[in-house]
Every structure is written in C-alpha cells, then in structure tokens.
Amino acid sequence: MNFSSKLIEKAVDAFATLPGIGRKTALRLVLHLLRQDIRFTEQFSAALVNMRANIRNCSLCHNLADAEQCQICSDPRRDHSLICVVEGVRDLMAIEDTGQYRGLYHVLGGVISPIDGIGPADLNIDSLLQRIDQGTIREIIMAISPTIEGETTVFYISKKIQPNGPQLSTIARGVAFGGDLEYADEITLGRSIVARMPYSAK
C-alpha cells in the first residue's frame, strides 16, 4: 500500500495495531477522520488520552472505574449481599448486558492455569476472601467460563470459603463446557444466571 503522505501512513500504521483492524480498514478510518472537522478529531483523540490516563481499577471489585469505586459498587440500588465472580471485565459486561443480575461483581483477572504459570496468588482471590470475611455476603455466584482452568479456579475458591462461608452457586450449564462466557448470547447467559445452582466441591 503506497501513500503520498508520511503522516497518513503513520496514522494508518497506528490504527492497524488495533485488534481486528487491517490496513484497508485502518485507511478507511483515517480518511474518514480527514473528512471531519478538525474539532472532531481533537475530541476523539482527547477522549482516548483521557481514558488511558485516568481509568483505574475499582478498589473493591477490580472492575474498570473512573473513581475509587466503580459505578456498580457505589450504586445503592444493587444487592450488596450478592457477588458474581467473573474471570475478566468483558465477562462482567456480558452479564450486565443480560439485564438479569442486580448484585455486585468481583473480577479475578484470569483463571488458575499452571501451564501458563498462573497460580492463585496471581489472581484477585485474596481480596474476594476479604470481602467475604466482612460477613455481609449471603451468596457467591461463580460465573467462570466452563473450561478445565475455570473449573479448577471454582474448586479452589470453593475450598477457601466453604463450609462456613456464604452460599456458593455456579451458573446453569446453558453455557457449553469449554466455551468462553463473553461469546455466549445474552438470552443463554441471562438464563444461566437466573437458573444458577448450588456448588459443591465434593
């Protein structure tokens, strides 16, 4: 792909580093920006810089947040006695999109995977146990992708909080074993949350 402008070439190269964006799509985006008023481009770039500079992790659940706590954790209308444990932020967003869940979340930041060198200490498990120790949680929903690594993670956490901890449940198996939660359709995922089942590590 030949360019008559080094500035355009650099902009295309920048867009093409994004996942799912090839060079042809990157060029279309760059040409679109060139057709807009310069204020549009300034606002666009300022929004990205502001997001990158100021986004943080929620001090309570590890979700992405603008402030010390995310909007979900700070919402008094949510059920603060219910925690849904998820692997990552995209899983949290997928569950929120179902509109079927009104409790809080806890983002682990991954799953236990010895092959990849990821152990319990590499995940946000200790902070989950600290939240449970406060004694205000009545149920923990393990909404972890049904893979071998996911099942290992659920088993490990269950051993840490049972038998004297809150009720532990898992999402119903409308989500196929070996599948990724974030790719499940909203209806299936919503029904899995509503039809969650008690979990036993035995």
Co-location of 86 and 179 in the same domain: yes
pLDDT at 130: 94
- Please count the structural domains in the chain: 2
Co-location of 27 and 116 in the same domain: no
Boundaries of domain holding 99: 73-198
- CATH code, 41: 1.10.8.420
Kindly tell me if the per-residue pLDDT of 62 is higher than 80: yes
- Helices (H) and strands (E) in the chain — how many of each? 7, 7
Kindly tell me if the per-residue pLDDT of 176 is higher than 90: no
Kindly tell me if the per-residue pLDDT of 196 is higher than 60: yes
Q: How far apart are CA 181 and CA 200, in angstroms?
A: 21
H or E segment to which residue 105 belongs: strand 103-107
**3-state class (DSSP) for residue 136:** coil
Co-location of 28 and 113 in the same domain: no
* 68 located within any domain: no
* 62 located within any domain: no
Confidence grade of residue 18 (pLDDT, cut at 50, 70, 90) = very high
Q: Which residues are CB-neighbours of 10 under 8 A, at least 6 positions away? A: none
Assess contact for 33 and 22: CB atoms under 8 A: no
Reported pTM: 0.79
Kindly tell me if the per-residue pLDDT of 138 is higher than 60: yes
Kindly tell me if the per-residue pLDDT of 186 is higher than 80: no
Buried b (16+ CB within 10 A) or exposed e, 1-16: eeeeeeeeeebbeebb
Tens of pLDDT, residue by residue over 103-113, are: 999 999 999 99
Of 54 and 170, the structure prediction assigns the larger pLDDT to 54
